Amino acid sequence: MTKIRNAAIFCLLTIILFSGQAAGAPGYAGSMPPVVWTGPYVGVFAGYSWADLKYAEPDFPGYELEPELDGFMGGGFAGFNFQTGGIVLGFEIDAGGGDLNEDPNPGANNTYSAFDINWNMHLLARIGVPLHTTLLYAVGGMAAAGVTLDDRDPEWGENDATHVGWAVGGGIEQVITRNFHIRVEYLYDDYGKEDYTIPGPVPYRSEIDLTAHTVRAGLVFCF
């Protein structure tokens, strides 16, 4: 719950900061004509992510781990909206990275495995309900992440894999000026299970099953 609270506070402060700066700016949403949501956009995001990782070695029971990897992350996105009546439909692609990693745990039976989520990306469909200058929306689609599994014992090495799964979530987007919006959203990612082969004097198989929660704030530029 502490991680969720910290992420929510981060996004709330971001919204307050941008809203406060925009309130006195020319073209503020309060003086704008009705918003047309149709069109392309790009943006950047930053937020907090925490991942639940389940590690196992099928041929060697007893070395399982379930570390929680958490940290700040950021990236960029691009998409297109199409408004029809009281509904906004769209698609979006994003990519980012952060500091989600875990060193070996000296207090566990497995004292050698280290994990690093190098990057992630989404290809999402969006559906939303516009309320003048505010858009409430839900998203769903594909999620992918690049993960490195590293055996830190001497003479053994590491292996990389790409996890591909699905994502769902939702958010709120607020018009600030005619070209700039801000948003806060939540995503749940199920990246699925992937196999790894660790090189060494005796190569061995491993499995990682990965899910993640992310709360992030974004700045959107609409063309």
pLDDT of residue 18: 46
Q: Which of 138, 125, 129 is nearest to 35 (CA)?
A: 129
Q: How far is residue 74's CA from residue 119's CA, in Å, rounded to a whole number?
A: 10
DSSP 129-161: EEETTEEEEEEEEEEEEEEEEEE-STT--EEEE
Domains of the chain in sequence order: 2-222 (2.40.160.20)
139 in Cβ contact with 185 (< 8 Å)? yes
As averages over each run of 10 residues, the pLDDT of the chain (223 residues) reads: 51 49 46 81 97 97 95 97 95 96 94 97 98 96 98 97 98 95 98 98 97 98 96
pLDDT of residue 223: 94
pLDDT of residue 6: 54
Distance from the Cα of residue 71 to its chain's centroid:
11
- In this prediction the pTM is 0.86
pLDDT of residue 35: 85
208 in Cβ contact with 53 (< 8 Å)? yes
pLDDT of residue 31: 55
For residue 108 the two structure tokens come to 């566990």
Write the CA distances from 117 to 44, 70, 158, integer angstroms.
20, 10, 13
pLDDT of residue 2: 53
